[in-house]
C-alpha cells in the first residue's frame, strides 16, 4: 500500500523512526547523574514552544528549578502525597505499590515545573470560552513535544503527578492564575531502552487492546 500524497514531505523511513520514538519514549524514573547539555534542553524547549495551543494562546510556562531547598521541598511534597496514596490503595495492591519507584526527584539533574497561565491574554480567549481547560491541554501538548524531542536525543523524562499542586505552586513562586500541570524530571536514563512501560514490566497494569477503546457511530 502506498501512502504517497502531494502534501506529504515525510518519507516512510522517517515514519518508521517516529513510531520507534513513540514506542521507546518511556516515563523515566532512574537517572544517571551526568548533566544534560544546555543545547539539548534549549532545542527541546524551542520545539515544545511550537506545540499547538488553543487560540494560539501559548499558555505554557516553564520553571527550571535548580535551587536545592526548593527541590527538597518538592520531594517532601511527593513523600506526603505518596504515603497518602499508599494508604488509599487497595490492601491487596499495597505491597506492590510500595515497591514501585515512581519518580526521579533525588536523581534527575534537570527538574522543571510546568504551569498553564489560565489568565493569559494571549489568544484573546479564542477557542477557550466553553472549554477553558483547553489551555491546560495546550500546555500538555508542549510537555509531550518536549518529551519526544528529548528522547530523540536519548534523554529521558519522567512526569511526576504524586504531588500537592498548591504546595508546588507555592514553592515555585507561581503567580496567581498559573495552574500547576506537571513536574518533570529530566536526565540520561539508567534503564536499557524498552518498549514496555515500567508499570507493565513490574505487573501493575497491562496494555489494553485498542479495539476496546474505540467506537464507531
Residue ranges in 151-180 that form contacts with its own copies under rule CB under 8 A: 151-156, 159, 161-165, 172-173
Name which position in 105, 108, 110, 128 contacts its own copies (CB under 8 A).
128
Count of residues near its own copies by CB under 8 A: 108
Name which position in 30, 76, 118, 123 contacts its own copies (CB under 8 A).
123
87-91, long-range: CB within 8 Å, 24+ apart, which pairs?
none
Q: Is 72 a binder of its own copies (CB under 8 A)?
A: no
* Rounded alpha-carbon distances, angstroms, from residue 158 to 31, 65, 71, 170, 197: 10, 15, 15, 21, 12
Q: Report the 10 Å Cβ neighbour count for 29.
A: 21
Q: Is 95 a binder of its own copies (CB under 8 A)?
A: no
Q: Is 130 a binder of its own copies (CB under 8 A)?
A: yes
Name which position in 35, 37, 101, 177 contacts its own copies (CB under 8 A).
37
Only one residue has cell 499547538, namely 52
Name which position in 73, 75, 89, 109 contacts its own copies (CB under 8 A).
89
Q: Is 94 a binder of its own copies (CB under 8 A)?
A: no
Q: Report the 10 Å Cβ neighbour count for 107.
A: 18
Q: How far is the CB of 197 from its own copies (least distance, A)?
A: 5
Name which position in 101, 131, 170, 177 contacts its own copies (CB under 8 A).
131
Interatomic CA distance for residues 106 and 74, integer angstroms: 10
With respect to its own copies, which residue has the nearer C-beta, 40 or 76? 40
Q: How far is the CB of 30 from its own copies (least distance, A)?
A: 12
Q: Which three three-digit cell numbers place residue 101?
A: 519507584
The full DSSP string for 104-169 is: -TTT-SEEEEEEEETT--TTTTTT-SS-TTHHHHHHHHHHHHHHHHHHHTT-EEEEE--S-HHHHH
With respect to its own copies, which residue has the nearer C-beta, 66 or 106? 66
Q: Is 29 a binder of its own copies (CB under 8 A)?
A: no
Q: Which of residues 183-202 bind its own copies (CB under 8 A)?
A: 188-189, 193, 197, 199-200
Amino acid at each position: 500500500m502506498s501512502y504517497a500524497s502531494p502534501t506529504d514531505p515525510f518519507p516512510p523511513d522517517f515514519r518508521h523512526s517516529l513510531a520507534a520514538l513513540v514506542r521507546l519514549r518511556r516515563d523515566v524514573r532512574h537517572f544517571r547523574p551526568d548533566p544534560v547539555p544546555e543545547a539539548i534542553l534549549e532545542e527541546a524547549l524551542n520545539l515544545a514552544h511550537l506545540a499547538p495551543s488553543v487560540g494560539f494562546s501559548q499558555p505554557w510556562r516553564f520553571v527550571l528549578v535548580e535551587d536545592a531547598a526548593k527541590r527538597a521541598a518538592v520531594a517532601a511534597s511527593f513523600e506526603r502525597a505518596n504515603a497518602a496514596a499508599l494508604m488509599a490503595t487497595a490492601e491487596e495492591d499495597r505491597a506492590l505499590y510500595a515497591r514501585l519507584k515512581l519518580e526521579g526527584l533525588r536523581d534527575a539533574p534537570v527538574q522543571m515545573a510546568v504551569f498553564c497561565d489560565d489568565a493569559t491574554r494571549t489568544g484573546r480567549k479564542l477557542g477557550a470560552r466553553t472549554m477553558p481547560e483547553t489551555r491546560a491541554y495546550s500546555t500538555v501538548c508542549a510537555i509531550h513535544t518536549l518529551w519526544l524531542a528529548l528522547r530523540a536525543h536519548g534523554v529521558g523524562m519522567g512526569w511526576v503527578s504524586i504531588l500537592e499542586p498548591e504546595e508546588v505552586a507555592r514553592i515555585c513562586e507561581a503567580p496567581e492564575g498559573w495552574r500547576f500541570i506537571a513536574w518533570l524530571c529530566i536526565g540520561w536514563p539508567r534503564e536499557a531502552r524498552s518498549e514496555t512501560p515500567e508499570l507493565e514490566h513490574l505487573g501493575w497494569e497491562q496494555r489494553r487492546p485498542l479495539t476496546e477503546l474505540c467506537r464507531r457511530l
